Amino acid sequence: MSLPHAILTALLEKPSSGLELTRRFDRSIGYFWQATHQQIYRELGKLEQAGHIRVLPSPQPTRGQRKEYEVLPAGREELASWVDRREEPRAVRDPLLLRLRAAAATGGGADLDEELRRHLLLHREQLAAYREIERRDFPPERRISREDRLRHVVLRGGIELESFWITWLSDTLSELSGGPGGPDGVRPDATADGA
Amino acid sequence: MSLPHAILTALLEKPSSGLELTRRFDRSIGYFWQATHQQIYRELGKLEQAGHIRVLPSPQPTRGQRKEYEVLPAGREELASWVDRREEPRAVRDPLLLRLRAAAATGGGADLDEELRRHLLLHREQLAAYREIERRDFPPERRISREDRLRHVVLRGGIELESFWITWLSDTLSELSGGPGGPDGVRPDATADGA
DNA sequence: CTGTCCATGTAAGCGGTTACATGATTTT
DNA sequence: AAAATCATGTAACCGCTTACATGGACAG
């Protein structure tokens, strides 16, 4: 039950139309939550009906025309109460880990190295993108409000998660290529991480 | 589309009944994939209908009685082909990160520290549990087959993910308590990680 | 024979994904 | 006028979650 809260957060940061929200979910918000435009439009309808948001009257919403939403007090209160709620940590559910275990069970997966290297590359690119955001939005000398700190630690979470994957994938490639059934020695590109 | 493959993997490792599978999903398999008994029974039905698994005739399956399943060659082939397939890395979708961002947007979340500390504790417990498994199942002197290595790197993934959370939560607690709006100085229990 | 546990299911609802539809605006 | 793009939707499907139902085995 987090999508409505993600949308409320995004609208609090800046009132937007559905398509603008979609683009923001593809960018900064997408670092920790994804949503397609279909999800977003459906949820905007629900939130409006619940009295949590409203359509701004200014851009005169006719059919097929852009509708800009803003958060109402009730929506802000709902979001604030959700922030203070207890929630259990989300359990891991990762298909790649499962596939390695499946490879162990079938005895197959001879070409897994290639897939692991492909993922390694993707995570390195993602990490570079996050670091660029960090450089741009959180320069070290900046005066730091509590809000900026919160946003920064969230980004740090994304950065460190990507770093985890890069380290783990590199170690896994070494581990799997190091023994019988693979070429001996450690692959040079598997140990140099993207930092 | 990973649940059927998780079940095939589990059944390859050891033929089981639905309830036994449920328990195994609460334990070792649950480190990277979760499923409730309802999901499992439904999926067992589908897999049987698809000719990927079958009921063992030995425990004489009558109504309300235990039914033990095993993987058929077609199921093994399906699993093997899935292992070799390409799949994009799963994107992050974590409510806790979202809640921090929401706290930045509302300006609230004064009690977030408590929730972060609670998560920190839970992750430390999980990490300890994984380390215990590692100690028991993967002693250092062991002869290592490719299969053992695969299972070990999967467990290492779980261990390192928990370590990531512990580090990030500790850093975040320091960061948020260190400045204006919180007590000055770094909390001693926030920097000592559970390793 | 009653309650409890074991084991297998059914049903309803929700969130996420994919594909398709439609009106308005801008470009060529 | 046609094509491309912007913007807002609808519909169908699938997986996951929660709650409830049913039947057999066993203990008191």
Q: What is the pLDDT of residues B92-103, one digit of tens each?
A: 999 999 999 999
Q: What value, to the nearest 5°, has the Cα angle with vertex B83 and ends B68 and B32?
A: 65
CA–CA gap between residue A185 and residue A174 (Å, rounded): 8
Contacts of A123 in chain B (CB under 8 A): 89
Q: How many C-beta atoms lie closer than 10 Å to residue B5's C-beta?
A: 22
Q: pLDDT value at position B60?
A: 60
Contacts of A96 in chain B (CB under 8 A): 87, 89-90
Q: pLDDT value at position B63?
A: 59
Identify the band that residue B192 occupies on the pLDDT scale cut at 50, 70 and 90: very low
First to last CA, chain A: 35
The tokens of A112 are what? 């897994």
Contact A86 B118 (CB under 8 A): yes
Contact partners, residue B126, CB within 8 Å, separation at least 6: B162
Contact A165 B118 (CB under 8 A): no
What is the residue type of B46? K
Task: Give the gap in angstroms from C-alpha B122 to the nearest C-alpha of chain A.
Answer: 8
Q: Which of A38-42, A79-83, B57-61, B109-113 has the lowest mean pLDDT?
A: B57-61
pLDDT in tens, A35-81: 999 999 999 999 999 999 999 987 665 555 889 999 999 999 999 99
Minimum CA–C1' distance nucleotide for B66 = C7
Contact partners, residue A121, CB within 8 Å, separation at least 6: none
| Nucleotides of chain C touched by protein CB (<7 A) | 6-11, 14-19, 22-25
Q: With pLDDT > 70 as the criterion, what percentage of chain A qualifies?
A: 87
DSSP class of A17: E
Q: pLDDT value at position A61?
A: 55
The tokens of B163 are what? 């370590």
Q: Are B147 and A81 in contact (CB under 8 A)?
A: no
- The pTM (predicted TM-score) of the whole model is 0.90
Residue numbers in chain A where pLDDT is lower than 50: 181-195
Contact A165 B89 (CB under 8 A): yes
Within 7 Å: CB of B42 and strand C?
A: yes
Radius of gyration of chain B (CA): 22
